[in-house]
């Protein structure tokens, strides 16, 4: 008998019929001889409706985060009760637990609380009594009993953290995709599902636009060594197993190719090359709450240098405003150039550490495909380039083929 944690997102429990489908799948898992804890999100649309109500009662400003948590936590509480009822109606034995009831203890940072520890006594007791435990995702409680929520992707985090706490044999994250693919199948038809991927590769894929899961949940899984599988709630195909790195994994140089669209590039030309300049520039950007991705600084020439970086295109106006305010202080000749309509292409793989020539292969493929490289950035297990948005798809296909990722058709 295995102990399995499953997680179903808002779409999977979006209406009574889907809740019954989920209930059926959860019950099948138990009837196959396993103990099951199933984490569910709020029914799709519910959280948005609650946020709308919150805005309507507080037109004067942002509602207090403590009260947002009390409000939003009702979404998952509704789903656990309904799913438990559905399981019972199908002849199973189930019991629901809120985050607080399941012993999920968090810090006091409302709307984006961090899990501090989990005391899964109630979960164990209910499992031992033969129950399926329906656990509310996305929520916990402080030591003094205040309701907290875990922020975006919080239900994945609940599943992974609970799987770690109860030493589950497997944690299954059910989504509307089949698993993690070597590239977005809408772009690269030959993309194949990746059977196994390391935490680090998953993290790099996630931060490069393959938004199957939030990085935070993957980081948590890595930290506590929780293996999990990303798979589809619509079929029974095996998904992608995300796990610790094993020696055999390095034999694959590139695990996958990620695309990130809607990027923008900011270039500051003729910046005096003296200490502290970068701190001033990126301090101003951070102050404006803009997240910077790639940064490239050219070598200084005549005591002046160029600094380029990329941000999400949506953040461009904020970034420009922030930079125009500080530019005059940087030097007389300093100028600002911006470019949107660009995209990022990344190849990710822990095999890069021990294989040379990854960049060369990538650049050759891009050149052959006539895709112009605007910026380059590398890390230990990732090589990323910026190309023009209209060239990203052909670039992705070329690179995917060059690294031998195309599925045998």
Give me the residues that bind a second copy (CB under 8 A), please: 16, 19-20, 23, 50, 53-54, 56-61, 63-64, 66-68, 70-71, 73-74, 77-78, 80-86, 88-90, 95-96, 98, 100-101, 122, 145, 147
CB of 213 to a second copy, least distance (A): 27
Contact 256, 182 (CB under 8 A): yes
What is the closest distance, in whole angstroms, from the C-beta atom of residue 287 to a second copy in the complex? 27
Give whichever of 89 and 244 is closer to a second copy, judged by the CB atom.
89
CB of 72 to a second copy, least distance (A): 8
Q: How far is the CB of 280 from a second copy (least distance, A)?
A: 38
* CB nearer to a second copy: pick between 19 and 197: 19
Is residue 136 exposed (0-12), middle (13-18) or buried (19+ Cβ within 10 Å)? buried
Helices (H), 240-302: 277-287
The H-or-E segment that residue 149 falls in is: strand 147-149
Tell me which residue of 125, 57, 51 sits closest to 95, measured CA to CA.
125
CB of 154 to a second copy, least distance (A): 17
Of the pair 63, 331, the CB lying nearest a second copy is at: 63
- One DSSP character per residue, 330-373 reads H-TT-EEEEEEEEEEEEEE-GGGGT---HHHHHHHHHHHTTPPP
Q: Smallest gap, in angstroms, from Cβ of residue 307 to a second copy?
A: 43
User: How far apart are the C-alpha atoms of 402 and 400, rounded to whole Å?
Assistant: 6
Q: Is 23 or 213 the residue whose CB approaches a second copy more closely? A: 23
Nearer to a second copy, 147 or 203 (CB): 147
DSSP string across 289-336: T--EEEEEEPPPBTTEEEEEEEEEGGGHHHHHHHHHHHHHHH-TT-EE
Nearer to a second copy, 6 or 96 (CB): 96
Comparing CA positions, the residue from 22, 41, 155 lying closest to residue 92 is: 22
């Amino acid at each position: 008998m295995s102990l399995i944690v499953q997680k179903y997102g808002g779409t999977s429990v979006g209406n009574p019929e889907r809740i019954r489908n989920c209930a059926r799948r959860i019950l099948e898992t138990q009837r196959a001889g396993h103990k099951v804890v199933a984490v569910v999100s709020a029914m799709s649309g519910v959280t948005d409706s609650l946020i709308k109500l919150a805005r309507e009662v507080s037109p004067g400003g942002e509602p207090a985060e403590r009260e947002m948590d009390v409000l939003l936590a009702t979404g998952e509480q509704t789903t656990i009760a309904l799913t438990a009822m559905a399981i019972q109606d199908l002849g199973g034995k189930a019991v629901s637990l809120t985050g607080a009831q399941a012993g999920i203890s968090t810090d006091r940072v409302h709307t984006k609380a961090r899990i501090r520890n989990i005391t899964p006594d109630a979960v164990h007791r209910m499992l031992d009594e033969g129950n399926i435990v329906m656990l509310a995702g996305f929520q916990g409680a402080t030591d003094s009993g205040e309701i907290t929520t875990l922020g975006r992707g919080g239900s994945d985090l609940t599943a992974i953290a609970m799987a770690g706490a109860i030493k589950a044999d497997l944690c299954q994250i059910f989504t509307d995709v089949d698993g993690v693919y070597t590239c977005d199948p809408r772009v690269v038809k030959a993309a194949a599902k990746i059977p196994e991927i390391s935490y680090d590769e998953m993290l790099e894929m996630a931060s490069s636009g393959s938004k199957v899961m939030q990085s935070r949940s993957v980081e948590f899984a890595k930290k506590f060594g929780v293996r999990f599988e990303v798979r589809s709630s619509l079929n029974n195909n095996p998904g992608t197993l995300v796990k610790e790195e094993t020696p055999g994994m390095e034999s694959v140089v590139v695990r996958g190719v990620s695309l990130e669209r809607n990027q923008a590039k900011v270039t500051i030309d003729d910046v005096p090359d003296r200490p502290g300049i970068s701190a001033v520039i990126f301090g101003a950007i951070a102050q404006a709450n803009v997240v910077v991705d790639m940064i490239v600084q050219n070598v200084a020439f005549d005591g002046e240098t160029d600094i380029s970086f990329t941000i999400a295109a949506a953040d461009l106006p904020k970034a420009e405003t922030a930079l125009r305010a500080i530019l005059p202080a940087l030097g007389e000749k300093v100028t600002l150039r911006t470019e949107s309509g660009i995209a990022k292409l990344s190849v990710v793989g822990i095999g890069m550490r021990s294989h040379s020539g990854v960049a060369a292969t990538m650049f050759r493929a891009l050149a052959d495909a006539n895709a112009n490289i605007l910026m380059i950035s590398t890390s230990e297990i990732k090589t990323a380039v910026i190309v023009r948005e209209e060239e990203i798809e052909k670039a992705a296909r070329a690179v995917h083929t060059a690294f031998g990722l195309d599925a045998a058709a």
